């Protein structure tokens, strides 16, 4: 299916979360936008998406409520909490932001000390949240071809690095 939205900044989708029943979605773009919408599915072939309806498409905001600047808006990972709050990881300025809801101003999470050493375009990428609300992320690059990827966890207001993923 081809997906088109008549907006000059549409594209560059980097994070996507689906509702439990697969009927709604939230997506982010590396152009600093968040969107929400509905998915219509055809019974055949095998629950294929037949239509995408974007209901909301708006820029991500900074801590003051202003739109993120070009230097700030390279969103990469998305995780949605049980209350519908959003956590978004960003490349460039290595950080994670919390949004209480789509359209809210950003609330920065503290940074792990290792984030300062990440390469310019190799920051925190994937983002996941578990049943306890703990966030997990890892960098795009580990630093060397022989170095495993560190997995960072943010829980109870603190970061740790409980494990790593070996290269294969």
CATH number, domain containing residue 96: 2.120.10.30
Task: For residue 54, tell me if it sits in a domain.
Answer: yes
In a domain, 35, yes or no: yes
| Element (DSSP H or E) covering residue 161 | strand 158-165
Query: Using an 8 Å Cβ cutoff, are 153 and 135 in contact?
Result: yes
Whether residue 31 lies inside any domain: the answer is yes
45, part of any domain: yes
pLDDT given at position 7: 62
Range of the domain at 131: 13-165
Which pair of tokens denotes residue 167? 């290269």
5 pLDDT higher than 70: no
What is the model's pLDDT at position 10? 65
Separation between Cα atoms, residue 16 and residue 83, nearest integer Å? 17
**Residue 2 within any structural domain of the chain:** no
Structural domain includes residue 44: yes
From the list 160, 145, 99, 93, the residue with the least C-alpha distance to 123 is 93
From the list 63, 74, 68, the residue with the least C-alpha distance to 28 is 74
Identify whether the C-beta of residue 121 lies closer than 8 Å to the C-beta of residue 134: no
The number of distinct structural domains making up the chain is: 1
Q: Residue 39: inside a domain, yes or no? A: yes
Average pLDDT over residues 94-111: 94
User: Does residue 3 lie in a domain region?
Assistant: no
pLDDT band of residue 72 (cuts 50, 70, 90) is confident
Amino acid 63: pLDDT: 95
């Amino acid at each position: 299916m081809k997906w088109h939205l008549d907006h000059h900044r549409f594209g560059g989708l980097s994070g996507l979360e689906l509702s439990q029943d697969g009927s709604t979605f939230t997506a982010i773009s590396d152009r600093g936008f968040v969107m929400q919408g509905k998915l219509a599915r055809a019974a055949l072939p095998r629950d294929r998406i037949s239509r995408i309806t974007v209901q909301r498409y708006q820029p991500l905001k900074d801590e003051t409520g202003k739109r993120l600047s070009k230097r700030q808006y390279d969103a990469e990972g998305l995780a949605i909490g049980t209350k519908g709050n959003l956590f978004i990881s960003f490349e460039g300025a290595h950080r994670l932001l919390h949004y209480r809801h789509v359209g809210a101003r950003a609330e920065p999470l503290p940074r792990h000390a290792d984030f300062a050493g990440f390469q310019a375009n190799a920051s925190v990428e994937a983002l996941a949240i578990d049943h306890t609300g703990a966030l997990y992320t890892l960098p795009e690059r580990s630093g060397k071809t022989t170095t495993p990827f560190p997995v960072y966890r943010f829980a109870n207001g603190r970061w740790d690095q409980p494990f790593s993923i070996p290269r294969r």
